Amino acid sequence: MRCQICNRFYAVELTFESLLSAKEICPLCRELIAIPVMKEVIPYRNGEIHYHYLSDLPNCDLATMQRFEKMIVKALKEAISDYDQDSIMIFLDEREYGTFACWSQMLFSYQKAVFISTVRYDFMKYDEHF
């Protein structure tokens, strides 16, 4: 069978039961989907960052990263429930994280910032910018 998330083929033992209730998601994607969205709150001068991410694995391989990217809607749903009209929502990847020092000042005009990413980025390295 072909997984609907990662698009890879995977083996399924065919039985009458599996024929009638075929799972269209491979075992690894099923395992990753079951992991709840993680959240942390990072305070800054006049507000908070509500940070939602799917994985805190520091060295995610490319295939796992691609799986998480297809599951980002899970984090997005939780982030939207955290969002209000006085906040700003930002999708993070390596580029935004790497340039955080350049745009972090923009956050201070909001009381709440909602961040979303597939993997967790450690903002402790930017401590002096809060």
Contacting positions for Zn ion (CB under 5 A): 3, 5-6, 26, 29
Q: What is the DSSP string of 47-85?
A: EEEEEEEEE--TT--HHHHHHHHHTHHHHHHHHHHH--T
Name the residue nearer to Zn ion (CB basis): 4 or 99: 4
Nearest approach, Cβ of residue 5 and Zn ion (Å): 5
In the bound complex, what is the minimum distance in angstroms from residue 25's beta carbon to Zn ion? 6
Long-range own/partner contacts, residues 96-99 (CB < 8 A, 24 or more apart): 97/121
Distance between CA 47 and CA 108 in Å, rounded?
Answer: 7
* Residue in 46, 47, 28, 35 with CA at minimum distance from that of residue 120: 35
14 or 63: CB nearest Zn ion: 63
Residue 10 or 126 having the CB closest to Zn ion: 10
Q: Which two tokens stand for residue 115?
A: 């961040």
* Choice between 3 and 114, CB closer to Zn ion: 3
How far apart, in whole angstroms, are the C-alpha atoms of residue 16 and residue 78?
A: 38
For the CB of residue 70, give the shortest distance to Zn ion in the complex, in Å.
9
Q: How far is the CB of 55 from Zn ion (least distance, A)?
A: 15
